[in-house]
C-alpha cells in the first residue's frame, strides 16, 4: 500500500467455516454433499472466502506419520469451495477451537513435550506445514496457510497446561514454521494468529512486535467477552468499536503504519449481545472497520451454529453462526449480507491521506511489550480513543517511546 494512494484497496469479506453437520469432528468422515450445501449458503451471503480448520491429530497422528487421506480431505474441501467461488485459507495446527484443545498424542500425557521449544516437536510441525503447503499450492482458489488457530494460547500464563517459552523462542518458532510454508509455497500468503492476550498481557512471550513483523499481514481476533463487555456492558458503543480499536492498535505497533491487517476473527457472543441486538452489532462492527486503509479482509466467526446435539460446548458457541444448524440464514446473516453490499461505499468514505492526517493519540509502549497492558480495554488509552472515535474528530493510535525502564507512568 502506498501512502499516496487516493483510496484504499478493496476488502475481502468471508467467514470462518464451522461445518453444520458434526462440527469439526466431521473431518473424520466428511459429508461432501453437506459441505457443498454449506458453501452455497456461505456464498449467498456475499462472501468471497472462507478459512478452514483441519484437526492436527487427524493430519499427523504420529510425529513421523502424516495421513494421506486426511491431507486429501483438506484438498477436497478446497475444491468444493472453488465450486462455490470461494477462496480458502487453511489453518495447519488445530490446535485450539471453541474452548477445546486438539493435540496429537505424541505431545501429551506420557509424551508431553514443549510445543514451542522441543526440537523433535518443531521438526514434526515443520513437516506438516510443508506437506499442507505443498498439497495446496497448485489449487487456484487457495491463498495460503495460517500456522494455527490462536495456537499461542498454549504459551499463555493463564493456560492450565502452559508450554512455557521466552519471547526469543516464540519468535524462532513462528519464523521457522512461516519459513517452511514459504519454502514450500513461495507465492502463498502465510500468517500466524493469536487471541488478544498478545496485545494486552505484559508477560505473554508472544509480543506485538512479532505479530506486526512476521507473516504476510497482521492478523487480529476481536472478542468482546474478555474485557470490553465486562467493563462497559450491553449496548455500549464500545462493543462494535472494539474491532476497530484492535486494528488501530495493530497499526500503531507496526514499523509500517500501513502494513495490511486481516480481521481474521470477529463475532457476536450472546453473553454480551442479546439476539435482538446482534444484527446491529454485525452492521456496526463491519462499518466501524470498513474505511481503515490497512484492512485487507474481514472474516466473521462463524458460518454456522454448533449443533445443540453436541455436548459440553460453552453456550455461546451454539449461537455464533450467521446460519443456524438447520441451514437457515439468521437475522445476523441477513445483516452480514446487507453489509457486504454496502461495504464498497463504506470503504470509500475516507482516503488514505485523510486517515494519516487524523490526530494521533500517543501511547508510550515499550518495544518488548512489557507494558502493553497500557493499551488494554480497561486503560485510559482505550477510554481516550473511544471518546475520539465517537466525536466528529476520530483519532488514530501512535506508539511513542516508553519512559526509561520500559514502563509507562501509572
pLDDT of residue 7: 67
Over residues 149-162, the mean pLDDT reads 94
Task: Tell me phi and psi for residue 59, to 5 degrees.
Answer: -70, -35
Question: What is 12-357's CATH topology?
Answer: TIM Barrel (3.20.20)
Mean per-residue pLDDT, 44-63: 98
Stretch 294-305: mean pLDDT: 98
Judge whether residue 198 has pLDDT over 80: yes
Q: Is 410 exposed, middle or buried (0-12, 13-18, 19+ CB in 10 A)?
A: exposed
C-alpha cell belonging to residue 225 = 467477552
Say if residue 169's pLDDT is above 90.
Answer: yes
For Cα atoms 324, 12, 300, give the angle at the middle one, nearest 5 degrees: 30
Phi and psi, residue 60, nearest 5°: -140, 75
Average pLDDT value for residue range 297-318 = 95
SS3 98: coil
Helical H segments across 46-94, by residue range: 56-59, 68-83
The answer to whether 409 touches 372, Cβ cutoff 8 Å, is no
Mean pLDDT for the stretch of residues 150-156? 95
Distance, CA of 234 to chain centre: 23
Percent of the chain with pLDDT over 90: 92
pLDDT band with cut points at 50, 70 and 90 for residue 404 = low
Average pLDDT for residues 93-100, to the nearest whole number?
90
- Backbone CA torsion sign across 326, 332, 336, 339: positive
pLDDT given at position 386: 98
Question: Using 50, 70 and 90 to split pLDDT, how confident is the model at 410?
Answer: very low
Domain ranges of the chain: 12-357, 358-410
Beta-strand pair 96-97/100-101? antiparallel
User: How far apart are the C-alpha atoms of 326 and 175, rounded to whole Å?
Assistant: 41
CA distances from 246 to 101, 218, 261 (A): 25, 11, 10
Q: Say what the pLDDT of residue 245 is.
A: 98
pLDDT of residue 1: 45
Return the pLDDT at 351: 87
Strand partners, 299: 14
What CA–CA distance (Å, rounded) separates 332 from 108? 39
Task: Supply 29's cell numbers.
Answer: 468422515
List phi, psi (to 5°) of 12.
-75, 145
How far is 38 from 40, CA to CA, in rounded Å? Answer: 6
Cβ pair 225, 271 in contact under 8 A = yes
* Residue-level pLDDT at 4: 42
CA 127 to chain centre: 23
Q: Alpha-carbon distance 225 to 6, whole Å? A: 36
CB 8 within 8 A of CB 347: yes
Mean of pLDDT values over 355-365: 94
Site of grid cell 480513543: 385
pLDDT band per the 50, 70, 90 thresholds, residue 401? confident
pLDDT at residue 409 in the model: 38
Residue 302: asked if its preceding bond is cis (omega within 30°), the reply is yes
Let me know how many helices (H) and strands (E) the chain has, helices first.
13, 11
pLDDT at 331 over 50: yes
Q: pLDDT confidence of 217, banded at 50, 70, 90? A: very high
- pLDDT confidence of 17, banded at 50, 70, 90? very high
pLDDT of 350 strictly over 60:
yes
Give the model confidence (pLDDT) of 248-292 as tens digits. Answer: 999 999 999 899 999 999 999 999 999 999 999 999 999 999 999
Rounded mean pLDDT of the chain?
A: 95
User: At residue 327, does pLDDT exceed 90?
Assistant: yes
Q: What is the mean pLDDT of residues 229-238?
A: 96
Which cell numbers hold the place of 74?
A: 483438506
Reported as a single tens digit per residue, the pLDDT across 100-146 is 999 999 999 999 999 999 999 999 999 999 999 999 999 999 999 99
Residue 123 grid coordinates: 521438526
| Residue for grid cell 461432501 | 32
Half-sphere exposure of 146 toward its Cβ, with a 13 Å CA cutoff? 28
Amino acid at each position: 500500500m502506498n501512502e499516496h494512494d487516493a483510496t484504499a484497496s478493496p476488502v475481502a469479506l468471508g467467514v470462518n467455516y464451522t461445518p453444520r453437520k458434526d462440527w469439526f469432528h466431521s473431518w473424520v468422515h466428511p459429508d461432501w454433499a453437506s459441505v457443498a450445501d454449506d458453501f452455497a449458503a456461505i456464498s449467498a451471503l456475499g462472501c468471497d472466502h472462507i478459512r478452514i480448520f483441519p484437526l492436527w491429530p487427524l493430519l499427523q497422528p504420529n510425529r513421523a506419520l502424516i495421513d494421506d487421506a486426511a491431507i486429501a480431505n483438506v484438498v477436497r474441501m478446497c475444491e468444493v469451495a472453488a465450486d462455490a467461488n470461494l477462496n480458502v485459507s487453511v489453518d495447519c495446527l488445530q490446535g485450539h477451537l471453541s474452548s477445546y484443545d486438539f493435540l496429537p498424542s505424541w505431545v501429551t500425557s506420557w509424551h508431553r513435550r514443549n510445543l514451542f521449544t522441543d526440537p523433535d516437536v518443531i521438526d514434526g510441525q515443520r513437516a506438516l506445514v510443508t506437506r499442507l503447503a505443498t498439497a495446496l499450492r497448485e489449487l487456484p482458489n487457495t491463498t495460503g496457510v495460517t500456522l494455527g488457530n490462536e495456537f499461542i494460547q498454549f504459551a499463555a500464563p493463564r493456560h492450565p497446561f502452559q508450554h512455557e517459552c521466552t519471547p526469543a523462542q516464540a519468535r524462532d518458532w513462528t519464523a521457522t514454521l512461516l519459513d517452511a510454508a514459504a519454502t514450500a509455497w513461495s507465492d502463498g500468503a502465510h500468517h500466524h494468529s493469536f487471541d488478544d492476550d498478545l496485545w494486552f498481557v505484559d508477560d505473554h512471550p508472544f509480543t506485538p512486535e512479532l505479530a506486526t513483523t512476521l507473516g504476510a499481514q497482521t492478523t487480529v481476533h476481536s472478542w468482546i467477552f474478555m474485557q470490553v463487555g465486562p467493563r462497559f456492558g450491553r449496548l455500549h458503543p464500545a462493543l462494535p468499536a472494539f474491532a476497530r480499536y484492535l486494528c488501530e492498535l495493530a497499526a500503531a505497533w507496526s514499523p509500517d503504519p500501513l502494513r495490511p491487517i486481516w480481521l481474521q476473527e470477529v463475532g457476536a457472543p450472546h453473553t454480551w449481545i442479546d439476539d435482538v441486538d446482534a444484527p446491529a452489532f454485525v452492521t456496526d462492527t463491519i462499518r466501524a472497520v470498513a474505511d481503515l486503509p490497512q484492512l485487507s479482509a474481514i472474516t466473521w466467526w462463524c458460518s454456522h451454529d454448533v449443533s445443540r446435539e453436541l455436548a459440553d460446548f460453552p453456550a455461546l458457541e451454539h449461537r455464533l453462526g450467521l446460519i443456524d444448524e438447520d441451514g437457515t440464514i439468521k437475522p445476523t446473516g441477513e445483516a452480514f449480507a446487507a453489509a457486504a453490499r454496502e461495504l464498497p461505499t463504506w470503504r470509500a468514505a475516507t482516503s488514505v491521506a485523510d486517515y494519516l492526517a487524523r490526530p494521533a493519540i500517543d501511547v508510550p509502549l515499550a518495544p518488548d511489550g512489557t507494558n502493553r497492558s497500557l493499551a488494554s480495554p480497561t486503560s485510559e488509552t482505550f477510554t481516550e480513543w473511544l471518546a475520539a472515535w465517537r466525536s466528529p474528530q476520530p483519532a488514530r493510535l501512535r506508539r511513542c517511546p516508553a519512559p526509561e525502564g520500559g514502563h509507562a507512568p501509572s
